Chain A
């Protein structure tokens, strides 16, 4: 096991301030602190070479977990082992083999070209000149920034800066990679490029990767396994396919009608997800699909019919809203 987490908890102490000027004065004299539970007794393990998606709404505890895994935070309870080392100890062998990439982070030297930061990281991580040149040319051509390496960072656009941050984080070829919203702020083409790159990196370096993202596309195209977390607890851990079978054992039947008909004609066949002439979408349990389809074809004036799996995004939205 490259990563094993058992009974991890993390609490924060946050002080509460009432709004307005009076609230500020009040908070000067006495402060109310509240303990917020960010992560509440979670356990999971990940083996070498796995690419796992970490999903959850804002404030679910994803980033906190990643910060604990990368040794930034001291856990309030539980045990973590990454590459056989407790992250919190921040040993050289640990730090030299991991990377945490966050969507909004700046390690680049603002006034200097990005190349200077890369060269500094080369020294920090003791990367040989040969290895450095290889990684740099691979990363910069893949992310299409070879022309910008000598431009001062402050002159770069947000997306370009993001790519540079990514290169800076990967120049030492980490074995374990924590990606927190890596596609944030990138255009669609770049998002796809980045996904391809992550997939490729996972394979070629046999790297273990945990990825969080709000774009379900990222997770769907990259991760076989997902861990869903909400309110600090894991509510699902397993294959993406199983998630659909377990939480959404139904399919969507999409029908295009030839002419307008009353709703009463199909209401008995299944739950109506959407009806907006000429389009009709019915939800039907997996085991009744063939029966419902044949009855639909018989009873309704149908131009076109397709059967679809529910969108992962919808399944997850349902899970979150029902568990709130």
Chain B
């Protein structure tokens, strides 16, 4: 276990080496949140509502997805594809280390940093802007939202890893990933709440895994889902997570058979 803690720590250290990069990255995050905030404040003046969302719930949704997104969607495991192609994977295959856990540990390092800085920044923004955000007081909803986020980040990690594994068969790992990213934000509900779509389309979306990455955890937090809906959603995302885990393991084993450890 110690080795994975050490990996998470080194990931953290590595990010902090480039101070300017790091600062600029955080500034970007804050600017993004501010842009979204002012956009939606002017779209839904207080007292009015749009698509069944009043100002505070819409603002909470939009800012919430941007924060949950920075936690769930910040996975480096796509680098796996490059590592396969440039032969760096060999370094890991030679050591008694689990390559999945290695990348997961790196992600945990990244995410821990994301969360800590986000909390500080949000506290400052909150104090200055005093935005009319919806604060969930029911402990159960917060807990369930947390469970949904953990499931979401594991699922996203596995999807990314799977895309990286294409590297075993083709050096062209970027094209599929690019398409995936474009579709992802829309399908996950990063642009707008998905339940403003026609009911039929939305019910199809609910069977896909993407909804559970952003939309679902935020909706739980907002308290807009019934316990039965939450339970069904967690079951569906759990099934997707298990399925993708099985597929990743299978493809990984197949891939190692054709791995050529090239470039070294």
Contacts and interface: CB of A to CB of B under 8 A. Distances in A.
Interface string A109-136: 1011000100111011100000000000
A100 B96 CA distance: 13
Interface in B1-49: 2-3, 5-7, 10, 13-14, 17-18
Interface string A165-193: 00000000000000000000000000000
A206 to B, nearest CB: 21
Nearest to B95: A124
Contact of A73 (B5, B6, B97, B259): B259
Nearest to B5: A123
Nearest to A165: B91
Contacts, number: 64
Interface in B71-111: 88, 90-91, 93-97
Contacts of A125: 95-96
A104 B264 contact: yes
Nearest to B262: A12
A125 B97 CA distance: 9
Name B's interface SS: helix
8 contacts: A74-B257, A95-B95, A105-B264, A111-B14, A120-B6, A123-B2, A124-B3, A124-B95
Nearest to A113: B13
Interface string A260-278: 0000000000000000000
Interface of B: 2-3, 5-7, 10, 13-14, 17-18, 88, 90-91, 93-97, 256-257, 259-261, 264
A61 interface: no
Interface string A10-24: 001000000000000
Interface stretch (A64-72, A137-145, A228-236, A251-259): A64-72
A279 to B, nearest CB: 44
Across chains A and B, which 3 residue pairs bring their CB atoms closest together, nearest first? Answer: A123-B3, A95-B96, A107-B91
Interface of A: 12, 63, 67, 70-74, 90, 92, 95-96, 98-100, 102, 104-107, 109, 111-112, 116, 119-121, 123-125, 152
Contacts of B10: 109, 112, 116, 120
Nearest to A104: B264
Nearest to B4: A123
Contacts of A99: 94
Nearest to A178: B94
